[in-house]
Amino acid sequence: MTLVTPLGGTPVVDLEARLVQAASRGDERAFERLYRQHVARIHSLVRRMASPEAADELTQDVFIRAWDKLGTFRGESAFGTWLYRLAVNVVLSARRKSRVERGWLLDDDAPLETQAVRTAPAGARLDLESAMARLPEGARQVFVLHDIEGWTHEEIADHLGLVPGTSKSQLSRARATLRRYLDGY
Amino acid sequence: MAIDHDTPEGTPLDPLLAEAISGLRDRGPEHDLWAEIAPRLAPRRPAGVLQMRWPTALAAGLALVAGSVAVTQWLGRAATGPADSPVAVQTPTAASASSALPVVTVAMDEAGSALQAAITELSTTIEAALPQLDPATRDELSRAMAALDRAVNEAAERVREAPDDLRAAQYLTTTLRRQHDVLRTIAVAASRS
C-alpha cells in the first residue's frame, strides 16, 4: 500500500486504513471520520448520476451499505475507490428498482432525441451540473461515468447491462445535447 | 477526477465541454447527513456469532444433523483403519439422556477439549433459559439439541472406529465447532427472549 505522507504528518493512507479497521470492528466514530472524508466526493457522484433531489437519500444509502459491507473490504484497493464503486452500484440498483416500480421497459433514448433544448438566460454562468440534470437518466449516467469519472465503455456496459456500442451512442448523444445547451449561454 | 479525454477508445471531447468538465468541483450535501446515517447503522455482532431468530436457529441445528448423518455414513464406508482407538466416547448417561440437554464428553486433543468445555458451558446457559420459553419452543429446542448431540456422538464413534482416518477426525472437529456455533446462536437468542 502506498503511503502518502504530508510533511511532518501522519501517513494519510495509513490513517485511513486504521480508520477502516476500527470501523469494521464497530467503531462508529471511526466510520464518521471516513464519512466526513468522502462525503463530498460521493454526494457529487450520486448527484450527477441520479439527481439532485435523490442525492441526499442515496448518499445515506451508500454509507449505510458501506458500513454493512466493510467486512468484505480487503484493502486491495484504496478505501475511496472501493466506496466509489459501491456508490455507483447503489445508484444503479436504485435506478433498476425505480424502473421496475414504474414499469419502464426501455431505456430513455427517445426523450433524449425529442427533448427540447432549454437554454439558460443570457449572462447566466456556465453550469454543467444543471445541464446534466436535464439529460435522460441513462445518457447522464454514461456521460458521468465516461467523461467525468474516466470509465471505459466496456466497464460502463458491464455495470449498466448494456453493450459497449449502446454506451458509445448514449455518450455521443449526451455530449451533443449538452453542447447545444452550453451554446445557449 | 482528472482524466484523459483523448483516450484511444473515445472521440476527443469538445473543447467547450472539456472546459466545463474541468470546472466541476466536488460539493457535499447542503446539510450534514451523518445525523440521519448514524441511527441506521446496524450494530456490529461479535465475530462468529450469527444473529438468527429462534426458528432459524432451530433450522440451522436440524440442517447440521441432516448433513451429519449423510457425511457420517460416507465416513463409515470410507473408514479402513483398525477398530482400536485411543479416543474415549461417553454416550449420554441415563440421567443426561432424560434431560433436555444431554451432555456428551469426547476425549480429544487440547483444542477439542476446550471446544467441548465451551459447548458444555453454553448448554448449561441454554438449559437455564429453557424454563422461560413457551412449551412448543422448548420442545423444538430440546429436540434440536438432542439431534446435535447425536451428530457429535456419531462423529466420535467414527473416530473411535477409525482413529487413523484424518477425514473422520476432521469431521468430528467440524461437527463440534458447528455444534458450538449453533449453541452460541441459541444462547444469544435465549438471552434476548
Residue with the bigger pLDDT between A107 and B33: it is B33
For all residues of chain B together, what is the average pLDDT? Answer: 65
Which residue type, as a one-letter code, is found at position B109?
A: D
On whether the CB atoms of residues B165 and B158 are closer than 8 A, the answer is yes
Q: Number of helices (H) and strands (E), helices first, in chain B?
A: 7, 2
Q: What CATH number is associated with residue A123?
A: 1.10.10.10
Complex ipTM = 0.75
Among the partner-chain residues A36, A40, A67, the one whose CB lies closest to the CB of B27 is A40
Given CA atoms A131, A135, A140, A146 in this order, what sign does their dihedral have? negative
A113 & A91 share domain? no
- Distance from the Cα of A74 to chain B's closest Cα (Å) equals 16
Give dist(CA B106, CA B87) in Å, integer. Answer: 7
Mean pLDDT over residues B38-57, rounded? Answer: 59
Q: Is the Cβ of B22 closer than 8 Å to some Cβ of chain A?
A: no
Q: Give the per-residue pLDDT at B89.
A: 34
A47 & A123 share domain? no
Q: Which of residues 119-158 of B touch A (CB under 8 A)?
A: none
* Pairs of CB atoms within 8 A across A/B: 90
Mean pLDDT over residues B146-175, rounded? Answer: 78
DSSP, residue by residue, A71-130 = GG--SSS-HHHHHHHHHHHHHHHHHHHHHHHHT--S-SHHHHHH-----PPTTPPP-HHH
- Domain stops at, among A79, A104, A129: A104
- State phi, psi for A18 to the nearest 5 degrees: -70, -35
Angle, helices B15-22/A164-183, rounded to nearest 10 degrees: 90
Give dist(CA A164, CA A55) in Å, integer. Answer: 27
Q: Is the Cβ of B13 closer than 8 Å to some Cβ of chain A?
A: yes
Q: Give the per-residue pLDDT at A143.
A: 93
Mean pLDDT over residues B29-42, rounded? Answer: 92
Q: How confident is the model at residue B157 (pLDDT cuts 50, 70, 90)?
A: confident
A179 & A96 share domain? no
For the entire predicted model, the pTM comes to 0.54
pLDDT at B54 over 70: no
A126 & A94 share domain? no
Task: Sort out which chain B residues have CB atoms less than 8 A from A128's CB and list them.
Answer: 17, 20-21, 23-24
Q: Which triple of cell numbers denotes residue A152? A: 471505459
On whether the CB atoms of residues A176 and B17 are closer than 8 A, the answer is no
A66 & A28 share domain? yes
pLDDT at B121 over 80: no
Among the partner-chain residues A26, A32, A178, the one whose CB lies closest to the CB of B44 is A26
Q: Is the Cβ of B49 closer than 8 Å to some Cβ of chain A?
A: no
Q: Give the per-residue pLDDT at B165.
A: 77
Mean pLDDT per segment of 10 residues, for chain A of length 185 residues?
43 75 90 95 94 93 95 87 93 75 45 45 58 89 92 90 91 90 73
Domain around A17 = 1-104
Q: Give the per-residue pLDDT at B192.
A: 65
- Digit-coded pLDDT (tens) for B95-116: 333 333 333 334 455 666 677 7
Q: Is the Cβ of B17 closer than 8 Å to some Cβ of chain A?
A: yes
Under an 8 A CB cutoff, do B33 and A152 touch? no
A84 & A32 share domain? yes
A16 & A60 share domain? yes
A95 & A6 share domain? yes
Among the partner-chain residues B9, B38, B44, the one whose CB lies closest to the CB of A25 is B44
Under an 8 A CB cutoff, do A35 and B16 touch? no
Q: Is the Cβ of A28 closer than 8 Å to some Cβ of chain B?
A: yes
Domain boundaries, chain B: 54-192
- Digit-coded pLDDT (tens) for A2-18: 344 444 444 455 788 88
Q: Is the Cβ of A180 closer than 8 Å to some Cβ of chain B?
A: no
On whether the CB atoms of residues A34 and A23 are closer than 8 A, the answer is yes
On whether the CB atoms of residues A34 and A24 are closer than 8 A, the answer is no
Of all residues in chain B, the percent with pLDDT exceeding 70 is 56
Task: Sort out which chain B residues have CB atoms less than 8 A from A64's CB and list them.
Answer: 37, 40-41
By residue count, chain B amounts to: 193
Counted domains in chain A: 2
A75 & A158 share domain? no
A71 & A144 share domain? no
Under an 8 A CB cutoff, do B10 and A150 touch? no
